[in-house]
Structure 1
């Protein structure tokens, strides 16, 4: 007997075994290829078995609670969510981040299918917790954590959200040329790109940038920043990767905070090959070519993660 008439959306992505089968046509061909390279196929099979075990259990619990819709990650950009949908994510942390930016305030319950394998910073629940978490949410007794997102808006009317980070730069291993404006500072630069990090992303790519800079310079990084900043912070941080000093490009404006007092703007000086993408999803991108002006700030959209 169903407990609610609200639709329950289960978001998943293929396992690595499923991706290998998609690539090589059959399970046998995938196994042959990996063994030919000297890699064990057993690991992929065991990972798939554990995930499917978790998947089957989650599906059973959701079907007993409400109307279930299973959604593959690749359909997130085009799926039309309803305001009263409840979204359940089963996968790794990255899948939670990718899901949040396509929602408009719907609550997300994130389930860790393999607690012994996944760190699960964004996966607070195990499969066995799901029924109780759903009941608490339906009774409005859940604790929900707000997650602020970054937004890139261009002068061409395009917009892109980021839960973890935005990347603005070259589509391949080359140099990006652009003009960057932060507050009242302005500089022409040549670099391998600019990364803008949110509070949620501050313990990921942002943390590795700080660690790398500290290692090269041989100096300590602020302990406050190295530990990240709050998921609901009303600011972002930008970092320029590998800025190159030349007669026409500078390296003075390579790191800083983005907030209402210090907005960030970049204008492309590249004939082609410039891109803007978020959360590591390069397929869902905006072209950043000559004449494109992009403004970076905090989005009005806020992710809602049940914790």
Structure 2
């Protein structure tokens, strides 16, 4: 694979290993004659500059997810776990110690590409960022009750709960799993949802508390909250006031992730 220009997104951690990893990445890219644009994750734009052949994240899984939001097409992404003693890095395929070897293998074409499913999110027809892990819909404060009308598979239901989680396979080992969901493959062309702590009373009793959204299907949630929000990957938050509708579907644009055997 020919790599002329890479876009590097890095976290602002200050650990010695993290800083050394950034130095190593800069050094290796320079040695291979690869032009690099470095950007702290807090300052990244909404889309990639033109002419980028590869996106590299330096940090942990959070930095990888933040970097993924830049990619709207089939541009490849490589995650570098900058401090394995501090970060899980399950989305990452390189570290400081093997980065040189991994870049060499990419140039030689000795790698595989996994296509991880993402979610498309629309707020009153306005398209938001792709979600790589999950979408949260509910009250903006955890101590407030989430009130909404959920519509999926042609069925509508008014609910009260602690919010709704809609997860990809990539996110199924994270928040979704902690909420009681079971992990499923990252490339599964589906999303799965869980209604968190559903309330059941005389007037409202949620019965659609979990399920699957297949490719081509859609979930709609109409807010009945003043402080409702839509949270994407714990990265971006949008207000969802009373009467506003959010739609979630399985995107036809997966993220293309570099992996090694």
Instruction: Give the TM-score normalised by the residue count of structure 2.
Output: 0.90
Map 1:71-110; keep pairs closer than 5 Å: 71-82=39-50, 84-103=52-71, 104-110=73-79
Query: How much does 1:154 deviate?
Result: 2.3
Alignment check: 8 A CA contact 1:101 1:303 kept: no
Q: Which residue in 2 is equivalent to 1:300?
A: 252
5+ long unaligned stretches in structure 1: 18-47, 211-224
Map 1:235-274; keep pairs closer than 5 Å: 235-260=190-215, 263-270=218-225, 272-274=226-228
Do residues 117 (structure 1) and 91 (structure 2) align?
Answer: no
Query: How much does 1:56 deviate?
Result: 1.1
Query: How much does 1:117 deviate?
Result: 3.3
**What count of residue pairs does the alignment treat as equivalent?**
256
Higher helix share: 1
RMSD over aligned Cα atoms: 2.1
Query: How much does 1:4 deviate?
Result: 6.3
Q: Which residue in 2 is equivalent to 1:181?
A: 151
Do residues 289 (structure 1) and 241 (structure 2) align?
Answer: yes
Q: Cα distance 1:171–1:165, how it changes in 2: closer, same or farther (>3 A)?
A: same
Query: How much does 1:83 deviate?
Result: 5.1
Q: Which residue in 2 is equivalent to 1:60?
A: 27
Instruction: Give the TM-score normalised by the residue count of structure 1.
Output: 0.77
Classify the secondary structure of the residue corresponding to 2:98: helix
Q: Cα distance 1:83–1:168, how it changes in 2: closer, same or farther (>3 A)?
A: farther
5+ long unaligned stretches in structure 2: none
Q: Cα distance 1:244–1:289, how it changes in 2: closer, same or farther (>3 A)?
A: same
Deviations 1:33-54 (A, max 9, x none): xxxxxxxxxxxxxxx1121122
Alignment check: 8 A CA contact 1:13 1:72 kept: yes
Higher strand share: 2
Do residues 168 (structure 1) and 155 (structure 2) align?
Answer: no
Q: Which residue in 1 is equivalent to 2:118?
A: 149
Query: How much does 1:293 deviate?
Result: 1.6
Classify the secondary structure of the residue corresponding to 1:82: coil
Map 1:187-266; keep pairs closer than 5 Å: 187-210=157-180, 226=182, 228-260=183-215, 263-266=218-221
Deviations 1:107-140 (A, max 9, x none): 1111122233333211121223222322332343
- Structure 1 distance, partners of 2:187, 2:240, is 28
Q: Which residue in 2 is equivalent to 1:40?
A: none
Q: Which residue in 1 is equivalent to 2:230?
A: 276
Q: Cα distance 1:254–1:275, how it changes in 2: closer, same or farther (>3 A)?
A: same
- Structure 2 distance, partners of 1:198, 1:102, is 18
Query: How much does 1:156 deviate?
Result: 4.3
Greater C-alpha Rg: 1
Query: How much does 1:298 deviate?
Result: 0.8
Deviations 1:156-190 (A, max 9, x none): 42423210000111111311211001103221011
Deviations 1:181-222 (A, max 9, x none): 110322101112111010000111111111xxxxxxxxxxxx
Classify the secondary structure of the residue corresponding to 2:165: strand
Classify the secondary structure of the residue corresponding to 2:117: strand
